[in-house]
Structure 1
Amino acid sequence: MGIEWAEPGSSGHVLEASMRPVDSLQHSRATPVRARMWKFSLPLRHPETGRLFADIDHLGAGLQRRSIDRYMWLIHDRDEGSAPHVQGALRLSNSRTSTQLSSILGLPSTALRPLRDRSGQHGAFERYCRYLLHESPEAQADGKFHYPDSAVHANFRFRDMIDRYFGLADSGCVPTAESADQIRLKVYNGDMTPLEVHGRHPMIFIRNHKSIEELYYKGRHDRLIAAALAERAALKDEDARVPSTDPHAA
């Protein structure tokens, strides 16, 4: 496709490859990098011409290849100061080069970057998937938009993976077998309090404390309403069974 891409968070401008002859020459001479894990990002449209860059249909079809073990991607279109862009990560069963992936996914090779573990640290895939959602305390402190799970396209239970990994890596405790959604449901149903979530699953509480607290009070309110409606229905049913003393009644 011959496109140089801009890192998300910049103005979103892209440069044609012909404007970067030195970089292109150096890139062509370099030994192709092979990797099993990759991240990708590409603006949806050219900020000036409006020309479509990311072919979502081609990307979606390419990600169904058997050689792609796991993938997760979403459209970032709520980030202040950043042009809408497609961003994601994938893990392969066998290593490939960016050129090979480019033809499979319909993305320019310059939109692909190897996803590597930091020195002495594992979990690059898990950490980047969490980054894509902007749900970490650091991302929230920076004012980034927290993308909901419903915005994600993935072929695996990414929420379980993220919750389990960070429940272990960030707090040093045994990761929970319950997902964040299951815990939120328990809070709503009154089976668990926010304080209990904080004690048992500290990282899930940190990432979801607002929704957990809101669900706790909403659950209490909804149960009170349901109880009042049930009591009213029971009274109506009881009144219907009591014989009428009105002499004019049929």
Structure 2
Amino acid sequence: MGTAWASMGATGHSSSVSPVQATNALQPPGATPIRARMWKFSLPLRHPDTGRLFADIDHLSAGLQRRSIDRYMWLIHDRDEGSAPHLQGALRLTNSRTSTQLSSILGLPATALRPLRDRSGQHGAFERYCRYLLHESIEAQEDGKFHYSDSAVHSNFDFRDMIDRYFGFAASGCVPTVESTDQIRLKVYNGDMTPSEVHALHPMIFIRNHKSLEELYHKGRHDREIATTLAERAAREGESASDSSAEIRAA
């Protein structure tokens, strides 16, 4: 049956439900279960009134070792002002699953699981949410959220390298760059950056623009060659005109 969870019913009293029961309660009759490869989860550590433990960390940790889970990252948020201590994280699967399946694997109630989706026209939902979990962005700091250190994270991959590469942070000090896509494209056209360097520093920009970046790189090199040829021709014509003027004055 899985771990039992305390939930507040309509009467205000706590009742014990299994993760699968909670999942079934959320699904309208006859509805097709939602399947996704990326999920986020959030769960209070304890019941605010009774102190009953909500998060079964041992069950979660064991479930995350499944080979079907490609990447995961989670931590306990217990320093946020005005927010009760809670467990929060994200995971990426090798194949899509339903919340019912994940609920059983991780020992989490369905109410704690939500599909992690990319915003319209934008990729990188997993990368952005992993960074959000640390509250290290300027926006999070302006909202007064506590900046959690990397040492507070539980994960099975190098999340710091992923975040830094996705957001284009410099290796020294993790200082964020402020370059826009247009600025990067201009650098490629001017020969100040190659498409390979864009791939290494700004992987998502490269993925979304790799064809145009290659075209810009070659077009920029071609245009610079033409500009150099024209400049050399103008210089030769200038020298020729100068020599002719000198001959006329000598005559």
Please indicate, yes or no, whether the TM-score normalized by the shorter chain is above 0.5.
yes
Question: 1:121 and 1:77 mapped to 2: Cα distance?
Answer: 31
Partner residue in 2 for 1:144: 145
Q: Aligned AA for 1:104?
A: I
Q: Aligned AA for 1:55?
A: D
Other structure's SS at 1:80 match = coil
- C-alpha change, 1:107 and 1:51, in structure 2 (3 Å) is same
Question: 2:65 and 2:57 mapped to 1: Cα distance?
Answer: 13
**CA deviation string 1:200-221 (max 9, x = no partner):** x536xxxxxxxxxxxxxxxxxx
Partner residue in 2 for 1:132: 133
CA contact (8 A) 1:36 1:95 kept: yes
CA contact (8 A) 2:141 2:147 kept: yes
- Within-5 A mapping of 1:173-212: 178=171, 183-184=172-173, 202=177
How far off is 1:86 after superposition? 0.4
How far off is 1:31 after superposition? 1.8
Partner residue in 2 for 1:36: 37
Other structure's SS at 1:71 match = strand
How far off is 1:99 after superposition? 0.6
Partner residue in 1 for 2:79: 78
Other structure's SS at 1:202 match = coil
Other structure's SS at 2:27 match = helix
Give 1 or 2 for the bigger CA radius of gyration: 2
Other structure's SS at 2:73 match = strand
**CA deviation string 1:121-142 (max 9, x = no partner):** 0000000000000011000001
- C-alpha change, 1:2 and 1:151, in structure 2 (3 Å) is closer
- C-alpha change, 1:160 and 1:26, in structure 2 (3 Å) is closer
Structure 2 gap segments, 5+ residues each? 18-22, 179-251
CA contact (8 A) 2:59 2:106 kept: yes
- C-alpha change, 1:17 and 1:127, in structure 2 (3 Å) is farther
- C-alpha change, 1:26 and 1:156, in structure 2 (3 Å) is closer
Work out the percentage of aligned pairs sharing the same amino acid. Answer: 77
Question: 1:131 and 1:107 mapped to 2: Cα distance?
Answer: 21
How far off is 1:109 after superposition? 1.3
Structure 1 gap segments, 5+ residues each? 6-12, 168-174, 185-196, 204-250
How far off is 1:27 after superposition? 2.1
2:98 is equivalent to residue 66 of structure 1: no
- C-alpha change, 1:17 and 1:31, in structure 2 (3 Å) is farther
- C-alpha change, 1:40 and 1:143, in structure 2 (3 Å) is same
**CA deviation string 1:145-168 (max 9, x = no partner):** 00000000010000010011011x
Partner residue in 1 for 2:102: 101
**CA deviation string 1:185-208 (max 9, x = no partner):** xxxxxxxxxxxx86xx536xxxxx
Q: Aligned AA for 1:42?
A: L
Partner residue in 2 for 1:247: none
CA contact (8 A) 1:3 1:110 kept: no
How far off is 1:24 after superposition? 6.5
Q: Aligned AA for 1:102?
A: S
Question: 1:125 and 1:42 mapped to 2: Cα distance?
Answer: 19
How far off is 1:4 after superposition? 5.4
Q: How many residues align?
A: 167
Question: 1:51 and 1:126 mapped to 2: Cα distance?
Answer: 33
- Within-5 A mapping of 1:156-235: 156-167=157-168, 178=171, 183-184=172-173, 202=177
